[in-house]
Amino acid sequence: MITLSLIAGLTLLFAGGEALVRGAVGTARALDISPLLIGLTVVAMATSAPELVVSLGAALDGKASIAIGNVVGSNIANILLILGVAAIIAPLPCTRELIYRDGAMMGVGAFLLTGLVLLGLVERWHGVVMLFALLVFIAITFRMEARGRNGGAKVHEEEAEEVPSPPGGVAGAIMLVVAGLVGLLIGAELLIYGATETARGLGVSEAIIGLSLVALGTSLPELASVAVAAWRGHSDVALGNVIGSNIFNVFAIVGITSSTVPIPVDPYFAAVDIWVMLASSILLLPLMYSGARLSRVEGSLFLGAYAAYIGWLYYCI
User: Using one digit for the tens of pLDDT, what is the confidence trace for 129-165?
Assistant: 999 999 998 888 777 766 665 555 565 555 556 666 6
- pLDDT value, residue 184: 77
pTM: 0.85
Percent of the chain with pLDDT over 90: 26
Highest mean pLDDT among 61-70, 164-173, 200-209 belongs to: 61-70
Q: Would you say 165 and 21 are in contact if contact means Cβ atoms under 8 Å apart?
A: no
* Spatial distance between the Cα atoms of 12 and 221, rounded to a whole number of angstroms: 11
Q: Would you say 213 and 6 are in contact if contact means Cβ atoms under 8 Å apart?
A: yes
- Reduced to 3 states (helix: H, G, I; strand: E, B; else coil), residue 163 is coil
211-235 average pLDDT score: 75
CA-based nearest residue to 12, from 173, 172, 156, 184: 184
Give 23-82 pLDDT, tens digit per residue.
777 776 676 666 656 666 666 777 777 888 888 888 888 888 888 999 999 999 999 998
Q: Is the pLDDT of residue 259 over 70?
A: yes
| Number of helices followed by number of strands (H, E) in the chain | 19, 4
Lowest mean pLDDT among 91-105, 117-131, 156-170: 156-170
Burial class (CB in 10 A: 0-12, 13-18, 19+), 285: middle
CA torsion angle 219 224 228 229 (round to 10): -20
Measured in degrees and rounded to the nearest 5, phi and psi for residue 263 equal: -115, 110
* Spatial distance between the Cα atoms of 27 and 150, rounded to a whole number of angstroms: 26
HSE of 22 in the Cβ direction (CA atoms, 13 Å)?
A: 21
Give 264-278 pLDDT, tens digit per residue.
999 989 989 999 999
CA-based nearest residue to 294, from 104, 39, 79, 100: 79
Burial 100-117 (b: 16+ CB within 10 A, else e): ebbbebbbbbbebbbebb
Burial class (CB in 10 A: 0-12, 13-18, 19+), 301: middle
More confident residue, 121 or 292: 121
Beta-bridge partner residues of 122: 263
- pLDDT value, residue 171: 75
| Largest pairwise CA distance in the chain | 56
Q: Is the pLDDT of residue 166 over 70?
A: no
Question: What is the rounded average pLDDT for all residues in the chain?
Answer: 80
Domains and CATH numbers, the chain: 2-315 (1.20.1420.30)
- pLDDT value, residue 189: 78
- pLDDT value, residue 127: 95
* Spatial distance between the Cα atoms of 248 and 74, rounded to a whole number of angstroms: 11
More confident residue, 161 or 310: 310
Give the long-range contacts of residues 162-169, CB within 8 A, separation 24 or more.
162/225, 162/228, 162/229, 162/232, 162/234, 162/237, 163/21, 163/22, 163/25, 163/26, 163/43, 164/22, 165/22, 165/25, 165/26, 165/29, 166/22, 166/23, 166/26, 169/30
Q: Is the pLDDT of residue 240 over 80?
A: no
Lowest mean pLDDT among 57-71, 168-182, 243-257: 168-182
* Spatial distance between the Cα atoms of 45 and 234, rounded to a whole number of angstroms: 20
- pLDDT value, residue 113: 96
Q: Is the pLDDT of residue 19 over 70?
A: yes
Q: Is the pLDDT of residue 255 over 90?
A: yes
More confident residue, 215 or 158: 215
CA-based nearest residue to 27, from 225, 179, 252: 179
